[in-house]
Amino acid sequence: MIEFAQVCKRYPNGQEALKQVSFELADGEMAFLTGHSGAGKSTLLKLICLMERATSGQVIINGRNFNRISRRKIPTVRRDIGMIFQDHRLLFDRSVFDNVALPLLIAGYPHREIGRRVRAALDKVGLLSKEKHSPIILSGGEQQRVGIARAVVNKPPLLLADEPTGNLDPDLSAEIMHLFEQFNQVGVSLLIASHDLSLIARMHYRTLVMKEGQLVQDQEVANHSEVS
Ligand code: ADP
Ligand code: ADP
Protein backbone atom coordinates (compact mmCIF):
# COMPACT_ATOMS: atom_id res chain seq x y z
CA MET A 1 0.00 0.00 0.00
CA ILE A 2 2.83 2.37 0.93
CA GLU A 3 6.38 2.06 -0.34
CA PHE A 4 9.08 4.60 0.47
CA ALA A 5 12.54 4.03 -1.02
CA GLN A 6 15.29 6.36 0.17
CA VAL A 7 12.96 9.29 0.35
CA CYS A 8 14.42 12.72 1.13
CA LYS A 9 12.45 15.89 1.63
CA ARG A 10 14.14 19.29 1.76
CA TYR A 11 11.88 22.30 2.18
CA PRO A 12 12.61 25.45 0.15
CA ASN A 13 14.22 27.06 3.22
CA GLY A 14 16.82 24.27 3.26
CA GLN A 15 15.31 22.32 6.17
CA GLU A 16 15.87 18.60 5.63
CA ALA A 17 12.68 17.08 7.05
CA LEU A 18 13.20 13.51 5.77
CA LYS A 19 16.54 11.80 5.23
CA GLN A 20 16.71 8.55 3.26
CA VAL A 21 13.47 7.14 4.63
CA SER A 22 12.62 3.62 3.45
CA PHE A 23 9.75 1.42 4.62
CA GLU A 24 6.74 -0.48 3.37
CA LEU A 25 3.23 -0.79 4.70
CA ALA A 26 1.41 -3.85 3.39
CA ASP A 27 -2.17 -3.86 2.10
CA GLY A 28 -4.47 -4.10 5.10
CA GLU A 29 -1.75 -3.26 7.63
CA MET A 30 -2.16 -0.78 10.49
CA ALA A 31 0.89 0.95 11.99
CA PHE A 32 1.83 3.88 14.17
CA LEU A 33 4.34 6.58 13.35
CA THR A 34 5.94 8.23 16.34
CA GLY A 35 8.81 10.49 17.36
CA HIS A 36 9.35 13.92 18.91
CA SER A 37 7.89 17.09 17.52
CA GLY A 38 9.87 18.07 14.44
CA ALA A 39 10.98 14.49 13.70
CA GLY A 40 9.28 14.49 10.30
CA LYS A 41 5.99 12.67 10.92
CA SER A 42 3.73 15.25 9.31
CA THR A 43 6.08 15.64 6.37
CA LEU A 44 5.98 11.89 5.78
CA LEU A 45 2.15 11.93 5.80
CA LYS A 46 2.09 14.97 3.50
CA LEU A 47 4.14 13.09 0.91
CA ILE A 48 1.60 10.25 1.00
CA CYS A 49 -1.39 12.55 0.43
CA LEU A 50 0.50 14.65 -2.13
CA MET A 51 0.43 17.85 -0.10
CA GLU A 52 4.22 17.87 -0.57
CA ARG A 53 6.51 16.19 -3.09
CA ALA A 54 9.70 14.24 -2.34
CA THR A 55 13.01 15.93 -3.17
CA SER A 56 14.50 12.54 -4.06
CA GLY A 57 13.68 8.85 -3.69
CA GLN A 58 10.53 6.94 -4.59
CA VAL A 59 7.07 7.25 -3.09
CA ILE A 60 4.74 4.51 -4.35
CA ILE A 61 1.21 4.46 -3.00
CA ASN A 62 -1.33 1.79 -3.90
CA GLY A 63 0.78 0.83 -6.92
CA ARG A 64 1.15 4.40 -8.19
CA ASN A 65 4.52 6.07 -8.42
CA PHE A 66 3.93 9.52 -6.97
CA ASN A 67 7.07 10.91 -8.57
CA ARG A 68 5.24 10.68 -11.89
CA ILE A 69 1.85 12.12 -10.96
CA SER A 70 1.05 15.36 -12.72
CA ARG A 71 -0.45 18.28 -10.81
CA ARG A 72 -3.70 17.83 -12.73
CA LYS A 73 -4.13 14.26 -11.43
CA ILE A 74 -3.52 15.07 -7.77
CA PRO A 75 -7.20 15.55 -6.78
CA THR A 76 -8.15 12.16 -8.31
CA VAL A 77 -5.30 10.35 -6.59
CA ARG A 78 -6.13 11.98 -3.25
CA ARG A 79 -9.62 10.49 -3.32
CA ASP A 80 -8.12 7.12 -2.47
CA ILE A 81 -6.58 8.46 0.73
CA GLY A 82 -8.59 9.45 3.78
CA MET A 83 -6.94 12.10 5.98
CA ILE A 84 -7.74 12.69 9.64
CA PHE A 85 -6.30 15.74 11.40
CA GLN A 86 -5.79 16.60 15.06
CA ASP A 87 -8.02 19.67 14.73
CA HIS A 88 -10.49 17.67 12.55
CA ARG A 89 -10.99 20.72 10.24
CA LEU A 90 -14.77 20.66 10.23
CA LEU A 91 -16.87 23.49 8.86
CA PHE A 92 -18.93 24.83 11.74
CA ASP A 93 -21.39 26.68 9.51
CA ARG A 94 -22.59 23.40 7.98
CA SER A 95 -24.35 20.38 9.43
CA VAL A 96 -22.64 17.13 10.33
CA PHE A 97 -24.23 15.59 7.23
CA ASP A 98 -22.89 18.32 4.93
CA ASN A 99 -19.40 18.06 6.39
CA VAL A 100 -19.26 14.35 5.69
CA ALA A 101 -20.86 14.80 2.24
CA LEU A 102 -18.23 17.32 1.12
CA PRO A 103 -15.72 14.88 -0.44
CA LEU A 104 -18.55 13.20 -2.38
CA LEU A 105 -19.94 16.54 -3.61
CA ILE A 106 -16.51 17.54 -4.84
CA ALA A 107 -16.11 14.17 -6.55
CA GLY A 108 -19.49 14.66 -8.27
CA TYR A 109 -21.43 11.75 -6.82
CA PRO A 110 -25.19 11.67 -7.56
CA HIS A 111 -27.46 13.05 -4.85
CA ARG A 112 -29.02 9.75 -3.76
CA GLU A 113 -25.68 8.00 -3.57
CA ILE A 114 -24.37 10.83 -1.39
CA GLY A 115 -27.22 10.40 1.11
CA ARG A 116 -26.70 6.66 1.29
CA ARG A 117 -22.96 6.84 1.71
CA VAL A 118 -22.97 9.68 4.24
CA ARG A 119 -25.43 7.79 6.42
CA ALA A 120 -23.37 4.58 6.13
CA ALA A 121 -20.26 6.50 7.25
CA LEU A 122 -22.06 8.25 10.13
CA ASP A 123 -23.49 4.92 11.21
CA LYS A 124 -19.97 3.43 11.36
CA VAL A 125 -18.80 6.16 13.75
CA GLY A 126 -22.01 6.03 15.79
CA LEU A 127 -23.29 9.50 14.90
CA LEU A 128 -26.27 8.81 12.66
CA SER A 129 -28.60 10.55 15.10
CA LYS A 130 -26.60 13.79 14.88
CA GLU A 131 -26.59 14.32 11.12
CA LYS A 132 -28.61 17.53 11.27
CA HIS A 133 -26.61 19.13 14.09
CA SER A 134 -23.87 21.66 13.66
CA PRO A 135 -20.54 20.13 14.68
CA ILE A 136 -20.03 23.13 16.98
CA ILE A 137 -22.39 21.66 19.59
CA LEU A 138 -20.70 18.23 19.58
CA SER A 139 -18.07 17.11 22.08
CA GLY A 140 -14.40 16.91 21.04
CA GLY A 141 -14.62 13.14 20.65
CA GLU A 142 -17.75 13.42 18.51
CA GLN A 143 -16.16 16.09 16.34
CA GLN A 144 -13.22 13.81 15.70
CA ARG A 145 -15.64 11.01 14.78
CA VAL A 146 -17.28 13.31 12.23
CA GLY A 147 -13.78 13.94 10.85
CA ILE A 148 -13.30 10.19 10.58
CA ALA A 149 -16.67 9.73 8.85
CA ARG A 150 -15.64 12.38 6.31
CA ALA A 151 -12.32 10.59 5.74
CA VAL A 152 -13.94 7.18 5.13
CA VAL A 153 -17.05 8.26 3.19
CA ASN A 154 -15.29 7.61 -0.12
CA LYS A 155 -14.19 4.18 1.16
CA PRO A 156 -10.52 4.84 0.57
CA PRO A 157 -8.22 1.83 0.92
CA LEU A 158 -5.78 3.94 2.97
CA LEU A 159 -6.36 6.17 5.99
CA LEU A 160 -3.76 8.59 7.35
CA ALA A 161 -4.17 10.24 10.73
CA ASP A 162 -2.02 13.06 12.10
CA GLU A 163 -2.22 13.18 15.93
CA PRO A 164 -5.91 12.16 15.81
CA THR A 165 -6.20 11.99 19.60
CA GLY A 166 -4.02 15.00 20.41
CA ASN A 167 -6.91 16.95 21.92
CA LEU A 168 -8.73 14.05 23.59
CA ASP A 169 -8.60 12.46 27.03
CA PRO A 170 -7.48 8.80 27.36
CA ASP A 171 -10.96 7.26 27.24
CA LEU A 172 -11.97 9.12 24.11
CA SER A 173 -8.58 8.40 22.55
CA ALA A 174 -9.13 4.68 23.13
CA GLU A 175 -12.55 4.99 21.48
CA ILE A 176 -11.04 6.60 18.39
CA MET A 177 -8.37 3.88 18.22
CA HIS A 178 -11.07 1.24 18.47
CA LEU A 179 -12.79 2.81 15.46
CA PHE A 180 -9.52 2.67 13.52
CA GLU A 181 -9.21 -1.01 14.38
CA GLN A 182 -12.71 -1.63 13.04
CA PHE A 183 -11.77 -0.09 9.69
CA ASN A 184 -8.57 -2.11 9.69
CA GLN A 185 -10.60 -5.29 10.26
CA VAL A 186 -12.49 -4.70 6.99
CA GLY A 187 -9.22 -4.36 5.08
CA VAL A 188 -8.39 -0.65 5.27
CA SER A 189 -4.68 0.18 5.69
CA LEU A 190 -3.87 2.81 8.33
CA LEU A 191 -0.84 4.89 9.23
CA ILE A 192 -1.38 6.88 12.43
CA ALA A 193 1.08 9.55 13.56
CA SER A 194 0.99 10.04 17.32
CA HIS A 195 3.31 10.92 20.15
CA ASP A 196 1.00 9.35 22.73
CA LEU A 197 3.40 6.56 23.64
CA SER A 198 1.26 5.01 26.36
CA LEU A 199 -1.68 4.71 23.98
CA ILE A 200 0.54 3.18 21.29
CA ALA A 201 2.05 0.71 23.77
CA ARG A 202 -1.39 -0.55 24.73
CA MET A 203 -2.38 -1.13 21.10
CA HIS A 204 0.23 -3.74 20.07
CA TYR A 205 0.75 -2.65 16.49
CA ARG A 206 3.81 -2.09 14.39
CA THR A 207 5.46 1.20 15.32
CA LEU A 208 7.77 3.27 13.14
CA VAL A 209 9.94 5.66 15.15
CA MET A 210 11.35 8.81 13.59
CA LYS A 211 14.14 11.03 14.84
CA GLU A 212 15.47 14.13 13.12
CA GLY A 213 14.10 13.09 9.74
CA GLN A 214 15.27 9.50 9.89
CA LEU A 215 13.44 6.27 10.54
CA VAL A 216 15.38 4.96 13.53
CA GLN A 217 13.23 2.03 14.59
CA ASP A 218 10.63 -0.25 13.01
CA GLN A 219 9.10 -2.42 15.64
CA GLU A 220 6.86 -5.27 14.59
CA VAL A 221 4.45 -6.41 17.28
CA ALA A 222 2.33 -9.57 17.32
CA ASN A 223 -0.74 -8.72 15.28
CA HIS A 224 -3.99 -8.17 17.13
CA SER A 225 -5.92 -10.51 14.90
CA GLU A 226 -3.52 -13.30 15.78
CA VAL A 227 -3.91 -12.63 19.49
CA SER A 228 -7.67 -12.29 19.67
P1 ADP B 1 6.59 16.36 13.09
O2 ADP B 1 5.29 16.12 12.40
O3 ADP B 1 7.26 15.08 13.51
O4 ADP B 1 6.47 17.34 14.23
P5 ADP B 1 7.32 17.87 10.72
O6 ADP B 1 7.25 16.95 9.55
O7 ADP B 1 6.21 18.80 10.93
O8 ADP B 1 7.59 16.99 12.04
O9 ADP B 1 8.65 18.74 10.62
C10 ADP B 1 9.94 18.17 10.34
C11 ADP B 1 10.94 19.32 10.16
O12 ADP B 1 10.63 20.06 8.97
C13 ADP B 1 10.93 20.32 11.28
O14 ADP B 1 12.24 20.79 11.47
C15 ADP B 1 10.03 21.43 10.76
O16 ADP B 1 10.36 22.67 11.34
C17 ADP B 1 10.35 21.40 9.27
N18 ADP B 1 9.24 21.84 8.43
C19 ADP B 1 7.98 21.35 8.42
N20 ADP B 1 7.23 21.96 7.48
C21 ADP B 1 8.03 22.88 6.91
C22 ADP B 1 7.85 23.84 5.86
N23 ADP B 1 6.69 23.95 5.20
N24 ADP B 1 8.90 24.61 5.54
C25 ADP B 1 10.08 24.49 6.17
N26 ADP B 1 10.33 23.60 7.13
C27 ADP B 1 9.32 22.80 7.51
P1 ADP C 1 -21.86 -0.51 0.22
O2 ADP C 1 -20.76 -1.50 -0.12
O3 ADP C 1 -23.18 -0.90 -0.35
O4 ADP C 1 -21.46 0.91 -0.10
P5 ADP C 1 -21.34 0.05 3.03
O6 ADP C 1 -21.04 1.47 2.75
O7 ADP C 1 -22.16 -0.21 4.26
O8 ADP C 1 -22.10 -0.62 1.81
O9 ADP C 1 -19.95 -0.76 3.16
C10 ADP C 1 -19.80 -2.14 2.94
C11 ADP C 1 -18.62 -2.71 3.72
O12 ADP C 1 -17.38 -2.14 3.30
C13 ADP C 1 -18.73 -2.46 5.20
O14 ADP C 1 -18.51 -3.68 5.89
C15 ADP C 1 -17.63 -1.46 5.45
O16 ADP C 1 -17.22 -1.53 6.79
C17 ADP C 1 -16.59 -1.89 4.46
N18 ADP C 1 -15.51 -0.93 4.10
C19 ADP C 1 -14.48 -1.21 3.25
N20 ADP C 1 -13.67 -0.20 3.13
C21 ADP C 1 -14.15 0.81 3.90
C22 ADP C 1 -13.71 2.13 4.19
N23 ADP C 1 -12.61 2.67 3.67
N24 ADP C 1 -14.47 2.87 5.02
C25 ADP C 1 -15.57 2.35 5.54
N26 ADP C 1 -16.01 1.10 5.31
C27 ADP C 1 -15.31 0.33 4.51
Burial of 66 (0-12, 13-18, 19+ CB in 10 A): buried
pLDDT of 224 reads: 52
DSSP letter assigned to residue 95 = -
Protein residue closest via CA to atom 11 of ligand 2: 186
Complex ipTM more than 0.85, yes or no: no
Sign (positive or negative) of CA dihedral 152, 85, 75, 191: negative
Instruction: Give the global pTM.
Output: 0.88
Task: Tell me which residues have their CB closer than 6 angstroms to ligand 1.
Answer: 11, 13, 15, 17, 35, 37-43
CA distance 40 to 19: 9
**Rounded distance between C-alpha atoms, residue 27 and residue 20, angstroms:** 23
Which of 181, 182, 186, 189 gets mutated to test ligand 2 (max ligand atoms within 8 A of its CB)? 186
Which tens digits make up the pLDDT trace of 151-209?
999 999 999 999 999 889 999 999 999 999 999 999 999 999 998 888 999 988 999 99
Q: What's the count of helices (H) and strands (E) in the chain, helices before strands?
A: 8, 10
Ligand 1: atom nearest CA of 13 is 25
| Closest atom of ligand 2 relative to the 82 alpha carbon | 23
